[in-house]
Amino acid sequence: MINIKNVTDDILWIGGSDKRLAKFENLFPLPKGVSYNSFVVKDDKTIIFDTADVTIADQYIENLEAALSGSKPDYLVILHMEPDHCSQISRVASLYPDIKLVGGMQTFKFLHQFFPELDNLEKITVKEGDTLETANHCFSFIGAPMVHWPEVLFAFDTKTGTLFSADAFGTFGSVDSGIFADDYDFEKEFLDEARRYYANIVGKYGAQVQAVLKKAQGLDIQKICPLHGPIWRKDVSWFVDKYDKWSSFTPETDDILMVYGSMYGHTASAAETLAQIVHEKSGKNVRVFDVSKTDKSELVGEAWLCAKIVLLAPTYNGGLYLPMEDYVADLVALGLKNRAFALGQNGTWAPVAAKHMSDKLALLKDCTISETVLTINSALHESDMELVEKFADVIACM
């Protein structure tokens, strides 16, 4: 079934959504699916912006052919060479062998690595500041290296104020009832997924995102067309502000994140008791998660949301409980900043989990780790409550 939507009179969305794929990049669960966006500009010259993932290949080609209505495209602009957006380049080239490919120097290096059969296709190499013009559009290219691959380009249409932003401003989640963010209650339906997408996919490259946002400050952006998720045509500055916060590692709330690991329920019980006391002392919302039951990507998103993070885990084989070890490793790999940590541990004969967590978290820049550690020996008892109260005071005052 053909599914084409108008972004403007002559810019068409020809993407699609996949609700069957279990994990994005075979890593991140997709409970709400994911969309792959591609666009066609129909003017005196016809331009395709990116393609789509192989999982929606047939839908994509059907949409493309319908959008072209028998005409031949002049250009295929490649803003990002990751397979979920470039998988159909060779197929498009086979259908339209006269098409010219437009991309950066590194884009075409990656193109050869994926599709050496396209080496003889005509290519136009562009860099920041170069333009591609049609009668009613002028697309100016902006370098966005490491947002989140090195070859990434943005394209800004100076005549309509439309920014084609590659993976930036993307989100997990399919687009069902509309292609625009204002077709939804975005804050309720997409914001958590947008944050989870940013933190896990782009989060490591906050400095690079900040650099691109500075370039964008001088642009009159009226619309944002990302490669995943809905298109922005209203309240654009609201979502740009979210990206500014996420990329500068600025917490969005003063909620307290508490993540615990528990083998037999004793650490879980202690975490629940602690959460109630912390809430009473601080007046803040405490967001409590079991590291074994909650996917790491969701917990990473929560870490981007909250300023204070409390981690509690048992010792395991003389080290750190494995799911917590994986979670802490993710935070370190993604370079989380500007957070305050408090650590708790449980152990029957040699509790050392806090030391392992502290040693790993010490690699993070601009983060503090409380010297006060809550230690539980096997299970929480009434005799431990004074220590719990003091630990809660420390968290409330971090």
What are the average pLDDT values for consecutive 10-residue runs of the chain, which has 398 residues? 90 96 96 97 98 96 96 98 97 97 98 97 97 97 97 97 97 95 97 98 97 94 98 97 97 97 96 97 97 98 98 96 98 98 95 97 97 95 95 96
Quick one: pLDDT at residue 389?
96
Quick one: pLDDT at residue 16?
96
Asked whether 299 and 289 are in contact (CB, 8 A), the reply is: yes
Give the position of tokens 């978290």.
Answer: 361
Query: Considering the domain 5-247 in this protein, what is its CATH number?
Result: 3.60.15.10
For the chain, domain boundaries? 5-247, 256-397
Q: What is the length of the chain?
A: 398
Asked whether 269 and 298 are in contact (CB, 8 A), the reply is: no
Cis peptide before 112 (omega within 30 of 0): no
Is 256-397 in the same CATH topology as 5-247?
A: no
Q: Whole-structure pTM over 0.85, yes or no?
A: yes
Angle CA 13–16–17, to nearest 5: 140
Quick one: pLDDT at residue 1?
73
Quick one: pLDDT at residue 2?
79
Asked whether 103 and 78 are in contact (CB, 8 A), the reply is: yes
Q: How far is CA 316 from the centre of its chain?
A: 31
Task: Provide the 3-class DSSP secondary structure of residue 173.
Answer: strand
Quick one: pLDDT at residue 166?
97
Quick one: pLDDT at residue 313?
97
CATH superfamily ID and name for 256-397: Flavodoxin domain (3.40.50.360)
- Which residues lie closer than 8 Å to 23 by C-beta, 6 or more apart? 29, 30
Over the range 263-296, which residues count as b (16 or more CB within 10 Å of their CB) and which as e? eeebbbebbeebbebbbeebebebbbbebeeebb
* Residue of 26, 48, 45, 24 whose CA lies nearest to 37: 48
Amino acid (1-letter code) at residue 176 = D
User: For residue 152, what are the CA distances in angstroms to 13, 46, 109, 149, 342?
Assistant: 20, 22, 13, 6, 38
